[in-house]
Chain A
Amino acid sequence: MNRLLHNRSTLPGALLTLIFAGAALISLVWVPYDTTVLNIADRMKLPSLAHPFGTDQFGRDILSMLMVGARTSIAVALVAVGIGMLAGVPLGLAAAARKGSLPDEIIMRTNDLVFAFPSLLIAVMITAVFGASALNAIIAIGIFNIPVFARLTRGAALTLWSREYVMAARVAGKGAARISLEHILPNVTNLLIVQGTIQFSLGILAEAGLSYVGLGAQPPTASWGRMLADSQTMISLAPHLAIFPGMAILLTVLGLNLLGDGLRDLLDPRLRRART
C-alpha cells in the first residue's frame, strides 16, 4: 500500500478512477436533478451555482447526466471485461497446457481470426443485426476482449509451464487442469489485473464510440458518447455541452491507463527490483 502511494502514476490514476466510480455509485441513490425530466425553460444554461456544469438543449443538468452516464460506461466496460476474462483466461490456460496440439491451434487461430477484424466495425455489425442496445454493445465489446485475455494468458502460462515447480507438481501426479488452476492461474493474476484495467478503459472508449453513432445505450439512459453526439450540432452555440462529457471520457480513460501502468510496475517483481 505504501508503495502504491509512492508510485508516480498510480496515485493520480487511482484518484481519477475513484472519482468516477464514486460519481457512478452516488448516482444510484442521489443525483442533483432528475435526468428524465425535461425543462425547456432552463436549456443550454452556462455553468452556474445551481448547475455546476450547465444544462443541455433540453434543460437537463449536465452534472447529473454525467453521473448517470458514468454508471452506463462503467457497467458496460465492467461486464465486457468480465466476459473477456471468463472466456479468454480458461481458453488461454487450456491452450498453454496442450501447447502445439490441435486444441491449441484451434483456439489460437480462432483468436487470430477475431483479431483480424477491427473491433468497432464488428461491434457496429452486431448491434446493427441484433438491434442497438446497451446489452448488445456489452456482448460485442466482450467478444473482442476474449482473444486479448486468451493470448496474454497463454503467453504467460507457457513460461510458467517450464518451471520446475510445475514439473514437481507433475511428478506428484497432478493433471493439466489441476496444475493450471493451482500453479499457473495464481501466478498470472498480476498480468490479468493490469490488462483488465487497460481493457476496462478501452471498453469505456468503445461504449462511448458506439453510443456516439447511436448503437449503444438508448434514450432515456444517459451515456457520455450520446451526449457528445447530441451536442455536436450546437458546439458553436454552447461548447460546454461537448466539453464536459468529452473531458469525462478523457479523464476516466487517462485515469485507468495510469492505474494500469502503475499496477504493472508495482506487481512486476523485475521492475520492482530495478527501482529499489
Chain B
Amino acid sequence: MSLLEIEDLSLEIHGEAILKNVSMQVEPGRVLGVIGESGSGKSMTAFSVLQLLPNGSVSRGRIALSGRDILNASEKDLCSMRGRDVGMVFQEPMTALNPLQTIGAQVAETILVHERVPKAEALARAADALRRAELPADRFPLTRYPHELSGGQRQRVVIAMAIALRPKLLIADEPTTALDVTTQAQILDLLKRLVAEDGMGLMLISHDLAVVADLADDLVIMRSGEVVESGPAHGLFRNMKHPYSRALLEASGHVPDRNGAAQETALLKVNSVTREYQTHTHGWWGRTTHVRAVDTVSFEIRKGESLGLVGESGCGKSTLTRAILGLEEIQGGEILLDGTPVVSHHRVNRDIRRRMQVVFQDPYGSFNPRWRVDRLITEPFHLLDNPPRGPDRDAAVAEALESVGLGAGDSRKYIHEFSGGQRQRIAIARALIIKPDLIILDEAVSALDVSVRAQVLDLLAGLADRFGLTYLFISHDLSVVRSITERVLVMKSGQIVEEGPTDSVFDKPQHAYTKQLVAAAPVLPADVA
C-alpha cells in the first residue's frame, strides 16, 4: 500500500475546474517530483492533500493517507493529521515564520499543538528537530528570532517545524525557488538526507526540471490541472512520450540562435567603481559604519556584446546596476558610456542616459497599474528633448509593441489584462522605444515559466541582432546566463572574482567561488534529450 494515494482527484473552485482526474502515489522513503508551470494545479494538489483549500472548493475522487480517507474526514481529524502525519514546507521562508516568535517557540508549537507534553520537553524536541535540519543549538540557540537568520537558515527552521513530529509525508512546495544556488543545493541535500533517515515520503513540487531531476525517484508532469505524464524518474527523463513534457524539457535547456558578433570597440567602461553605504548603528548620533556594496569593480562591455553578471543575493549586482544607470552616485572610479561619463558634477548626463534602458525582474511590480500600455511604454520619451507626438507617437508605440510580438491594438489596454510573459514583453518594449544602445536585463526572465522564458530569450536574441543591441544580463540562474551571453563576470561580496568567455568560465572555473557556484547549480542528467 502506498503512503499517499490520489485517485481521480477533481477540484472545482466556484465552479471553475482546477484539477481534472489527477492521480499520483507517494511511497514511503521515496521522492515524488511534481513538475508544472504556473497554473498547472501542482500547488492545489498539495493543498488538497492537506484539505487547506479556498472557500467554494468542491473535490471529487479519492485521497488516502496510509489507507485513511482524507476527503471525507472531519475537520477535527484533519487538524490532528496536519503537522503530525503530513508536514509542509513553503516557498517563501521570509514570510512563513512569525517574526515576533523565537525559532525554538515556533518549532515547539507544532509539538504542543499535537501532544500534551510539558513545554520544556517540547523545547528539547524542537532543539532536536532543528539539529536534524542542521541548525545545531550551540550555534543557533532556540532564542534566535527569524530576522537574525539568512534565507537558507530560515528555510531550515521551516523544515524543522515540518519534521518535528516525524511525519510520514512531507510536502515541499517550491522549497528552494526563493533561495540562492548554493543554498538551494544545501537545502536539497538536507531534504534528501531526511527522506533517507526517516523513511518518509516526500512530495517535491517545482517548476524547475533540473531541481527535481536530481532528487526525485518518481515524476509527475502536470499541465492546466491534468497529469500529462508520470512514472519512475529514471525512465521518464530518457523516454518522454507526451509532446508537452518534451517541450518542457527542451525549453529548460533552450539556447537561442545568435548571429551578430561583438565589435572590438567598448561601449560601456566601468573603471574601479566603488559604492559605499553609510549606516548609523544607534539612531542619529550613533557610530557610523561603512558597507562597501561595490568594491573597485572594473569591466567593459563591447558594442553588440551580451555580457553576463552572475552572483548571489547581496553580492552588489543591483547596486552596480543602479550606479551604471546613474540612479546612485558612486564614491570612487568612473562609469563611461562611449567615453562620456554617466554622471558629471553630480548631475546625470541626459544624453548618456537615453542610450541605456533596463528591464526588471518582476513582471507584476514594474508597471503602474493605473496606466494604459501606450502611456507605460512611452515613459522613456521623457528623456528626449523633442518627444514624438500625435501620429508619430502612435507609430512608435505600434512599432515597439510589434517588435516584441504584441499588436498595436494592445496599446489601450491596462497592464492587468496581460500574462506574466506578455508583461515582460511590454517591459522590453518600454526599454526599446527610445532605441537605446545598452539594455540592462536585471533578472529579466527569472520569474517566468520555462516555456515562456525560452520565448523571451529568443525574442531578446532576435532583437539584439536586429537593432544591434548590447546586453548586460544580470542573473543568479547559470543556465540562462550560459544560453544567452558570450562573456560572463562572477561577482561576490562587491568584487568581480572571475571573468571570461561564458563557456570556459562554466566548464573550467578557476576561482573557488565560481567552482562552488557551478557545482551547486542543478543540472539535468547529461544523457537526456
Contact = CB atoms under 8 A, between A and B. Distances in A.
Interface of A: 163-165, 167-174, 182-183, 186-187
B156 to A, nearest CB: 28
A165 B430 CA distance: 11
B235 interface: no
B118 interface: no
Given A164-B360, A164-B362, A168-B430, A173 B369 contact: no
Interface in B327-347: 327
A172 B360 contact: no
Interface of B: 325, 327, 348, 350, 353-354, 356-358, 360-362, 365-370, 379-383, 427, 430
Nearest to A174: B382
Given A171-B357, A173-B348, A187 B368 contact: yes
Contacts of A174: 379, 382
Contact of A164 (B353, B365, B380, B383): B365
A172 B348 CA distance: 12
A173 B360 contact: no
Nearest to B280: A100
Given A167-B358, A168-B367, 12 more contacts: A164-B362, A165-B368, A171-B325, A171-B353, A171-B357, A172-B379, A173-B350, A173-B380, A174-B379, A174-B382, A186-B370, A187-B369
Contacts of B358: 167-168, 171
Contact of A163 (B365, B370, B379, B427): B365
Across the A-B interface, the 7 shortest Cβ-Cβ residue pairs:
A164-B366, A164-B360, A172-B380, A173-B383, A172-B379, A164-B365, A172-B382
A169 B430 CA distance: 11
A165 B367 contact: yes
A168 B379 contact: yes
Most buried by B among A170, A174, A187: A170
Contacts of A172: 379-383
B368 A173 contact: no
Given A173-B348, A173-B350, A167 B369 contact: no
A186 B414 CA distance: 15
Contacts of B361: 164
A167 B359 CA distance: 10
B365 A170 contact: no
Nearest to A183: B368
Contacts of A183: 368
B41 to A, nearest CB: 19
Given A186-B370, A187-B368, A187-B369, A173 B325 contact: no
Nearest to A276: B14
Contacts of A170: 327
Contact of B380 (A165, A167, A171, A186): A171
B517 to A, nearest CB: 26
Contact of A171 (B327, B362, B368): B327
Contacts of A182: 368
Contacts of B367: 165, 168
A165 B364 CA distance: 9
A183 to B, nearest CB: 5
Nearest to B380: A172
A165 B354 contact: no
26 contacts: A163-B366, A164-B360, A164-B361, A164-B365, A165-B368, A167-B366, A168-B358, A168-B367, A168-B427, A170-B327, A171-B325, A171-B327, A171-B356, A171-B380, A172-B381, A172-B382, A173-B348, A173-B350, A173-B354, A173-B382, A174-B379, A174-B382, A182-B368, A186-B368, A187-B368, A187-B369
B353 A173 contact: yes
Nearest to A184: B368
Which residue among B348, B366, B368, B370 has the maximum number of chain A CB atoms within 10 Å of its CB? Answer: B368
B365 A165 contact: yes
B366 A165 contact: yes
B439 to A, nearest CB: 11
A168 B382 contact: no
B379 A169 contact: yes
A267 B388 CA distance: 36
A174 B430 CA distance: 15
- The winner among A163, A173, A182, A183 for most chain B CB atoms within 10 A is A173
A171 B327 CA distance: 7
B354 A167 contact: no
A174 to B, nearest CB: 6
Nearest to A275: B55
Contacts of A164: 360-362, 365-366
Contacts of A186: 368, 370
A182 B376 CA distance: 11
B13 to A, nearest CB: 10
A122 B348 CA distance: 47
A109 to B, nearest CB: 11
B353 A167 contact: no
A164 B440 CA distance: 14
A87 B380 CA distance: 31
A75 B478 CA distance: 64
Contacts of B354: 173
Residue among A172, A182, A183 having the largest count of chain B Cβ atoms under 10 Å? A172
Contacts of B325: 171
B327 A167 contact: yes
A183 B125 CA distance: 51
A172 B430 CA distance: 10
A167 B360 contact: yes
B443 to A, nearest CB: 11
Contacts of B365: 163-165
A163 B370 CA distance: 14
A171 B357 CA distance: 7
A174 B360 CA distance: 17
Nearest to B381: A172
Nearest to B440: A171
A190 to B, nearest CB: 11
B464 to A, nearest CB: 19
Contacts of B382: 172-174
A170 to B, nearest CB: 6
A103 B468 CA distance: 45
Contacts of B348: 173
B269 to A, nearest CB: 20
Contacts of B427: 168
